[in-house]
């Protein structure tokens, strides 16, 4: 009898789990997004929608005050170099871990997406990113640049995963090599 009760409980739980059906989700937006590619078109409706899916290294609150995002901290380590310490134990939706490679890939891809009507190049231009370790990135500029945290709060970070690593999505040879290394492991 005890066994029968357990089986009945398991079946009831399974029935409740499978009883959920797909529902239609409607969103009210002031302007329709033109793309769901986080680096294709730097446009307010796109960025607003994508901010619910992707994250930045540095976030901004409703008053545009900077706060930690995927970078838990940042500091200028000399006149032309900024150091960003990345959050640990962050995973993308596919289970791959977030690392410095994803930051380098995102900053290389963002200004180079083919056919972009309004690129994110202004935020990546003149910056050289270097991976120090899996959770530290240095960004170097030719001259002192105090607005670095503001700039990195404008580029969504994406995974070096296979979905973005196609010929169309990896517009430069370096980005393609980064994808090859990331997806071969």
Report residue 181's pLDDT band, with 50, 70 and 90 as the boundaries: very low
pLDDT tens readout for residues 106-118: 999 999 999 999 9
Does residue 180 carry a pLDDT above 50?
Answer: no
Tally of CB atoms within 10 A around 146: 8
More confident residue, 98 or 25: 98
pLDDT tens readout for residues 69-97: 999 999 999 999 999 999 999 999 889 99
Q: Which residues pair with 133 in a beta bridge?
A: 136
| pTM confidence score | 0.76
Give CA–CA dist 68/87, Å, rounded.
Answer: 9
pLDDT tens readout for residues 3-20: 555 665 655 665 665 555
Establish how many alpha carbons lie within 13 A of residue 63's alpha carbon, considering only the half-sphere containing its beta carbon: 1
Does residue 178 carry a pLDDT above 60?
Answer: no
Tally of CB atoms within 10 A around 79: 9
Give CA–CA dist 69/51, Å, rounded.
Answer: 12
Write down the pLDDT at residue 164: 58
């Amino acid at each position: 009898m005890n066994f029968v009760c357990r089986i009945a409980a398991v079946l009831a739980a399974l029935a409740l789990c499978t009883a959920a059906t797909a529902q239609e989700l409607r969103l009210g937006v002031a302007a329709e997004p033109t793309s769901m590619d986080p680096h294709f078109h730097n446009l307010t409706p796109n960025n607003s929608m994508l901010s619910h899916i992707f994250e930045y290294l540095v976030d901004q609150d409703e008053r545009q005050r900077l706060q930690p995002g995927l970078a838990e901290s940042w500091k200028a380590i000399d006149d032309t170099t900024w150091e960003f310490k990345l959050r640990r134990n962050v995973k993308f939706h596919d289970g791959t871990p977030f690392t410095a490679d994803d930051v380098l890939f995102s900053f290389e891809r963002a200004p180079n997406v083919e056919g972009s009507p309004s690129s994110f190049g202004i935020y990546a231009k003149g910056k050289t990113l270097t991976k120090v370790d899996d959770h530290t990135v240095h960004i170097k500029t030719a001259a002192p640049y105090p607005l670095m945290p503001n700039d990195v709060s404008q580029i969504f970070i994406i995974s070096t995963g296979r979905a973005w690593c196609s010929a169309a999505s990896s517009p430069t040879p370096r980005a393609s090599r980064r994808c090859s290394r990331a997806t071969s492991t």
